[in-house]
């Protein structure tokens, strides 16, 4: 195993429900160390750019609309094999398929409003982290 960093976004549904603190605590309780974090509201242009990988998919526009409807918490998490481990702690994309005790099972309500986003590969984690944080912010 090796120490990795991954990007985590607590989505607008969880933030508006007042669950961001509980979700961050859940990650920390599972051994994911918060290296950097900020609360922000994504602009439409930021959301379009961040989710551009989904541009050809039918859910792209609704995803952009959802991600810009309110504040999010964007965090860099660190742990052994952080990318895969964070995805395990989040649970399946569809909360109804997520294992008991995972973030999405606890706080998600639908496949889109599933409480959180996590990088799907180490390469994408590096790209996504760079999208939101400068190197100077990640010296921890």
Q: Of these residues, 26, 54, 86, 117, which one is catalytic?
A: 117
Spatial CB neighbours of 103, under 8 Å, sequence gap ≥ 6: 23, 26, 27, 89, 90, 91, 115, 116
Task: Based on the residue annotation, tell me whether 26 is a catalytic residue of this protein.
Answer: no
Contact 66, 11 (CB under 8 A): yes
Token output for 101 = 């005790």
Distances (CA, A) of 2 to 82, 83, 100: 9, 11, 27
Contact 6, 80 (CB under 8 A): no
Q: How far apart are CA 121 and CA 83, in angstroms?
A: 6
Smallest CA-to-CA distance from 116 within 30, 2, 1 is with 30
**Residues assigned a catalytic role:** 117
């Amino acid at each position: 195993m090796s120490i990795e960093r991954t990007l985590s976004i607590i989505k607008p549904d969880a933030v508006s429900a007042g669950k961001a603190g509980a979700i961050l605590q859940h990650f920390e309780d599972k051994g994911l160390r918060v290296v950097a974090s900020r609360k922000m509201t994504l602009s439409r242009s930021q959301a379009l750019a961040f989710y551009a990988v989904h541009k050809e998919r039918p859910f792209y526009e609704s995803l952009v609309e959802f991600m810009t409807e309110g504040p999010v918490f964007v965090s860099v998490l660190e742990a052994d094999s952080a990318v895969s481990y964070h995805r395990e702690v989040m649970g399946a994309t569809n909360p109804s398929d997520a294992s008991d005790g995972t973030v999405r099972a606890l706080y998600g309500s639908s496949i889109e409003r599933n409480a959180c986003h996590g990088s799907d590969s180490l390469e994408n984690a590096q790209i996504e982290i760079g999208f939101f944080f400068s190197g100077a912010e990640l010296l921890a």
